[in-house]
Amino acid sequence: MKTGNEQLPENAGTEGWRHEFLEGAEDAMPIVMAAAPFGALFGAAAAAQGLPGFEIILASLTIYAGASQFVFLELYGLSVPAWSVVLAVFAVNFRHILYGASIGRKMGAFRPLSKYTAFFFLTDPQWAASEVRSDGPGLRPAYYFGFVVPLYSLWMAGTVIGVWFGSLIKNPTAFGFDMLLPIYFLAILMGFRKRVNWLPIVLVSGISSSVLSVTIGPPWHISLGGLIGLIVAAFLPLPKGKEERGDGEDG
């Protein structure tokens, strides 16, 4: 496998790496706005539940998945058996299997070590931005880790602040931060609208996940709704004479 640097233009060198890294960091900015408040919310909620600071910070450091950490917190508070906490975290994270399957194919520019490091940081926004990048100039480690560094740092900083000043953080939804990720994901979703069969897949997944979210409830509505969309995608006819990636200029 080739390294990221080898795939860059000859004269790019360190300068090219730096440029791509900064592009990743720049694309992470809208998400970083949410990472710190939500990290703080997690830290504060965990501290309020009486968890020791060390374990709270360990959770953000090693799990690094917002939704799963809140599920972990909620179930730990109910003092259910340990295996059921782990199972719930698995259920919440099931969608990541789809992310890995999709983005893993586009990581040709990663060495094994950077690939396996990259998977550790594969959060929802990280994955979404990487998909967009791979459709454009191609996904390379510099861009990927440029996105990781501010996001992970601010998530950790937020957690620590939350643990320390937990009682000060009353209502992070006041600034609409609870809708930041849905709006961001909508923007990314719209960016893929030139892909083949985009609209039917979006409608099938979107409507079935909405129905599932009010019937069976979270977290399975995401994975099941997504799988229904993928099954439909597999059986929809592809437009004749067109490439599978229908993201050309004409669209």
Partner 1 sequence: MARMAEFIETHTLALLVLACAAITYFTRVSGYWIIARFKAIPPRLDAALQAVPAAVLATLVFPPALTKGPVEGAVMLIAVFLCIRFSPIIVLIIGLSILVVGRTVTGL
Alpha-carbon span 41 to 93, nearest angstrom: 20
Helix 141-164 vs helix 112-120: crossing angle, to nearest 10: 30
Closest distance of CB 210 from partner 1, Å: 5
Which tokens sit at 193?
A: 């609208």
Which tokens sit at 231?
A: 């099954």
The answer, yes or no, to whether the previous bond of 150 is cis (omega within 30 of 0) is no
**C-alpha pair distances (Å), 248 with each of 193, 242, 244:** 11, 10, 10
Which tokens sit at 128?
A: 């979404």
Check: CB of residue 133 under 8 Å from CB of residue 247. no
Nearer to partner 1, 10 or 235 (CB): 235
Closest distance of CB 141 from partner 1, Å: 15
Nearer to partner 1, 40 or 122 (CB): 122
Closest distance of CB 131 from partner 1, Å: 5
Nearer to partner 1, 8 or 46 (CB): 46
Nearer to partner 1, 13 or 239 (CB): 239
Nearer to partner 1, 8 or 109 (CB): 109
Closest distance of CB 5 from partner 1, Å: 22
Alpha-carbon span 45 to 71, nearest angstrom: 12
Closest distance of CB 246 from partner 1, Å: 9
Closest distance of CB 128 from partner 1, Å: 7
Alpha-carbon span 179 to 165, nearest angstrom: 24
Which tokens sit at 155?
A: 């998530």
Nearer to partner 1, 120 or 165 (CB): 120
